[in-house]
């Protein structure tokens, strides 16, 4: 009996450690309350106020009510990471950081999708796009053009990691290449994405907005084969009379949506979560909402 109890206690301790790794060290957003000479005061997304938080990036890029991302070290101390927008002209920040200081090995392994040693210390620019093949293959800047370059140079099986950043512009996926964000809250694309066979879009937000009479969509299915969407928020808001759709297929390929939220609305037109003209769209454990209807099959 004593042995069983000790085993149960050991398992409980391991479970508690796993829960701690998955919660305390998980990145989250925060709002800047006050800016000091070298540190800031923020309100985290859970409502707690944190004082004297150091910053990765330039304080001159911040203002009160700006959004930053909190990274936690192993001692549960936060550091704020400034997220630039892809079309800014400022030079890249010169700071580098070791992600192992802020993420558990489990989280690093998840981000790198097992393509690199979770215990390896990488010297990374925090706002860069990373292309991973077997280990870190290449780093790119954070602009829309750099993301296009990373996609153009990607090979089948590559993983492209996007930083906590908002990137504008339209992008075309590459067959058998995965595009992954840090989280839905931290990585955002605002252009339309065209799919490719066996490509995957994961763990990010795609958000589009317009006020006109044109059709507005976020993700277009591939010519052939299947595009996978996993763990994403996709929102399309049309303030004009144009039709809005989160995901649509019109080229013959299919789309499979896993564990994602799709929403499309149009003030003066029709809004559908998914529109299937040619090809099929499969929803797996996903929520799909449209201002007109969930889906339209043309």
pLDDT tens-digit map of 58-79: 788 788 988 887 776 656 677 7
Helix (H, G, I), strand (E, B) or coil at 11: helix
Q: Are residues 55 and 128 in the same domain?
A: no
Contact 30, 54 (CB under 8 A): no
Containing domain of residue 63, as a range? 22-82
pLDDT at 256: 97
Closest CA to 60 of 29, 27, 43, 82: 82
pLDDT at 61: 77
Q: What is the CATH number of the domain that holds 50?
A: 2.40.50.140
Query: What tokens does 78 get?
Result: 């936060």
Q: Are residues 144 and 263 in the same domain?
A: no
Q: Are residues 149 and 177 in the same domain?
A: no
CA distance linking residue 158 with residue 251, whole number of Å = 25
pLDDT at 239: 96
Residues facing residue 166 across a β-bridge: 85, 188
CA distance linking residue 212 with residue 220, whole number of Å = 20
pLDDT at 166: 83
Helix (H, G, I), strand (E, B) or coil at 152: helix
Among residues 109, 124, 158, the one where a domain terminates is 158
pLDDT at 134: 60
Residues facing residue 238 across a β-bridge: 210, 266
Among residues 44, 66, 82, the one where a domain terminates is 82
Q: Are residues 100 and 206 in the same domain?
A: no
Does some domain include residue 297? Answer: yes
Query: What tokens does 88 get?
Result: 């800014």
Q: Are residues 135 and 179 in the same domain?
A: no
Helix (H, G, I), strand (E, B) or coil at 103: coil
Q: Are residues 295 and 196 in the same domain?
A: yes
Contact 251, 278 (CB under 8 A): yes
Q: Are residues 142 and 177 in the same domain?
A: no
Do you know the residue count of the chain? 298
pLDDT at 79: 75
pLDDT at 44: 84
Does some domain include residue 4? Answer: no
Residues (pLDDT < 70) of the chain are 1-27, 57, 72-76, 82-127, 134-136
């Amino acid at each position: 009996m004593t042995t069983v109890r000790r085993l149960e206690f050991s398992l409980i301790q391991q479970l508690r450690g796993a829960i701690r790794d998955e919660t305390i060290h998980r990145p989250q957003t925060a709002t800047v309350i006050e800016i000091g000479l070298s540190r800031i005061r923020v309100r985290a997304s859970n409502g707690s106020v944190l004082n004297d938080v150091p910053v990765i990036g330039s304080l001159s890029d911040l203002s009160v009510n700006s959004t930053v991302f909190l990274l936690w070290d192993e001692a549960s101390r936060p550091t704020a990471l400034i997220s630039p927008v892809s079309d800014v002209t400022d030079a890249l920040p010169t700071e580098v950081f070791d992600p192992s200081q802020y993420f558990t090995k489990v989280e690093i392994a998840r981000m790198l999708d097992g393509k690199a040693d979770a215990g390896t210390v990488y010297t990374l620019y925090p706002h860069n796009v990373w292309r991973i093949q077997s280990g870190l293959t290449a780093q790119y800047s954070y602009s829309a053009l750099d993301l296009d370059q990373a996609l153009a140079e990607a090979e089948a099986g590559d993983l492209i990691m996007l930083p906590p950043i908002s990137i504008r512009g339209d992008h075309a996926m590459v067959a058998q290449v995965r595009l992954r964000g840090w989280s839905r809250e931290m990585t955002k694309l605002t252009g339309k994405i065209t799919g490719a066979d066996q490509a995957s879009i994961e763990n990010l937000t795609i958000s589009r907005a317009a006020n006109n009479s044109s059709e507005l969509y976020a993700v277009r299915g591939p010519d052939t084969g299947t595009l996978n969407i996993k763990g994403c928020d996709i929102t399309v808001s049309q303030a004009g009379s144009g039709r809005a759709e989160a995901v649509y297929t019109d080229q013959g390929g299919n789309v499979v949506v896993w564990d994602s939220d799709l929403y499309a609305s149009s003030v003066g037109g029709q809004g559908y979560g998914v529109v299937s003209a040619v090809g099929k769209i499969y929803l797996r454990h996903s929520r799909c909402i449209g201002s007109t209807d969930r889906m339209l099959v043309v």
